[in-house]
Chain A
Amino acid sequence: MSIDQSTAAKVAKLARIKVEDDALPALASEFNTILGFIEQLNEVDVEGVEPMVSVEPMRLKRRQDVVTDGNQQDKVLANAPDAREGFFAVPKVVE
């Protein structure tokens, strides 16, 4: 499988990373190097093998559905690049 420039652009878009058009050929080439390396996995017979979810065969623990923490609005917002009136502020969202 080979990645062309338009696929590279699509991946960048999906990852929400701005990549300038003139950087796309180099990016596509790097992807192809790495994917070429990954292609080795096709040599392995994985028929009937379960994909691993977790190295320890354990079920994730459950807990009571109760409030354990909260009332820390100031701390939650303390590191925000733009916080106003108790909210995170973002540019206008227009769909």
Chain B
Amino acid sequence: MSDLNKLGLAEARDALRKGEVTSVELTESCLTAIDAADALNAFVHKTPEIALERAKAADERIKGGDAPSMCGLPIGIKDLFCTKGVPSQAASKILEGFKPEYESTVSQQLADAGAVMLGKLNMDEFAMGSSNETSVYGNAVSPWRRGNDDAQLTPGGSSGGSASAVSADLCLAATGTDTGGSIRQPAAFTGITGIKPTYGRCSRWGIVAFASSLDQAGPMTKNVRDAAIMLEAMCGHDPKDSTSAELAVPNFEAMLTGDIKGKKIGIPKEYRMDGMPAEIEKLWADGAEMLKDAGAEIVDISLPHTKYALPAYYVIAPAEASSNLARYDGVRYGRRAQLAQGDGITEMYEKTRAEGFGHEVQRRVMIGTYVLSAGFYDAYYNRARKVRTLIKKDFEDAFAAGVDAILTPATPSASFGLGEMTEADPVQMYLNDVFTVTVNLAGLPGVSVPAGLDKQGLPLGLQLIGRPWEEGDLLNTAYALENAAGFVAKPTKWW
């Protein structure tokens, strides 16, 4: 077999079990692809020794007939996950040199399931961004281009390195995290599949915290079946995360029948925004038609508070971030600024955080500090939390009316050029998450499925939103959409 790095998880798993290929061969193929793809700046800490060691162990297990679900499958890990003895910086200067003494629950579960870690993936600093332009490692670059135009495009963010790496076949799949759209938006920008599960499905322990009530990990994969396989390995109750759900994890892959007859799919009218590109509008209508052809019933629904999701998010997420990021004080881990003669502890905090945090992170920490400060707490933070209650209720009402899943565009546009948004005000960048952020606020599962190309030849994705804890049913609907859309485009290799 050649081009083993181009396989998906399910294909590689089946080939491994049939003895057609070894994990070492798969892993070496990916390592070669990674070394040839430095131009994408996706892998920022490569771990070939760990990868080959785990691949050899996986081959032994497969030979011994003891192969767990991800055995021998090479994947990338977002830099936000703490990985024992391997730099885990959340793409921030302030965590320079930090090598955790422990492993995050999710990456441990993947390792226990036999997965092979190839290295750590680029991202926006502390997962704050939608274009992977806030990383201390520099921009991650999309493998996609606008036809023959060689302008560099964003793979999206914050899981931009994960998206770039999976799309460019540097690994079979990757982990991502999603606080406002950070799995689904980059997946849509790069023509891959990404699911954010229900809040509480995946343990947050050992994942560098951004906004704790919104953060969830999830897989970024080449197709829906792979997402089902990898999600199952990542999920499960963890006593070390107090919000982790004590629920059994179903066999998601076994639920992929492709049969969605009689399912009710809601189309929320509030997602039809002014100025939405005609291509996105058409993609959305085509998607609804595909699901209808597959036997689903399409119904118009209303989610009246949609418009207020982004402003509520930009109160709640910075507020939680300002609290979570208080721990970066130059004392316990990471970087401490050089101090001048006579500087005390306050100067140490202030200088360390000024030079350690990038611009966007500083801005969000300060916005969070402001909305939580005395006199503004009720006007901003409590009001936003009340609006969040109303946003969740919008979804509850739709589900109570019998809707099984909701179909929306994943993003308001295709990928844009790196640097193209530099001059725009921060709110323009925040609008990238307009279709995804509601899902985090309501704690629901959401999946992005590649569904077409725009006229520049760039991927576009559709999002399906499911009922809480029903990722299996959601993935099955995504599977039906994937089958109907038949998206097979790949970026032309230029790197």
> Are A78 and B350 touching (Cβ within 8 A)?
no
> Are B245 and A56 touching (Cβ within 8 A)?
yes
Q: Closest CB-CB distance, A30 to chain B, in whole Å?
A: 6
> Are A16 and B346 touching (Cβ within 8 A)?
yes
Is the CB of A67 closer than 8 A to any CB of chain B? no
Is the CB of B205 closer than 8 A to any CB of chain A? no
Is the CB of B114 closer than 8 A to any CB of chain A? no
> Are A81 and B334 touching (Cβ within 8 A)?
yes
> Are A56 and B200 touching (Cβ within 8 A)?
yes
Q: Closest CB-CB distance, A15 to chain B, in whole Å?
A: 4
| Segment 74-95 of A: residues with Cβ below 8 Å from B | 75-76, 78-82, 88, 90-94
Is the CB of B56 closer than 8 A to any CB of chain A? no
Query: B343 to chain A: which residues have CB within 8 Å?
Result: 91
Q: Closest CB-CB distance, B389 to chain A, in whole Å?
A: 5
Query: A66 to chain B: which residues have CB within 8 Å?
Result: none
Distance in angstroms between the alpha carbons of A72 and B441 in the assembled complex: 37
Query: A38 to chain B: which residues have CB within 8 Å?
Result: 311, 314-315, 371, 380, 384
> Are B387 and A14 touching (Cβ within 8 A)?
no
Contacting residue for A41 out of B332, B362, B384, CB 8 A: B384
> Are B336 and A81 touching (Cβ within 8 A)?
yes
Binds A, one of B43-51, B96-104, B411-419, B447-455: B96-104
Binds A, one of B24-32, B33-41, B351-359: B351-359
Is the CB of B385 closer than 8 A to any CB of chain A? yes
> Are A90 and B348 touching (Cβ within 8 A)?
yes
Distance in angstroms between the alpha carbons of A30 and B422 in the assembled complex: 14
A18-B351, A52-B389 known; A79 vs B311 contact (CB < 8 Å): no
Distance in angstroms between the alpha carbons of A76 and B439 in the assembled complex: 36
Contacting residue for B213 out of A3, A37, A54, CB 8 A: A54
Pull 25 A–B residue pairs with CB atoms less than 8 Å apart, ordered by A. Answer: A15-B362, A15-B365, A16-B346, A17-B354, A17-B362, A35-B367, A37-B311, A38-B311, A38-B371, A40-B307, A42-B383, A46-B383, A50-B389, A55-B441, A56-B200, A60-B243, A61-B239, A72-B101, A79-B97, A79-B101, A82-B336, A90-B331, A90-B348, A91-B344, A93-B345
3 closest pairs, A vs B, by CB? A55-B443, A51-B385, A79-B333
Residues of A that sit less than 8 Å from B by CB: 1, 3, 8, 11-12, 14-19, 27, 30-31, 33-35, 37-44, 46, 49-56, 60-61, 63, 72, 75-76, 78-82, 88, 90-94
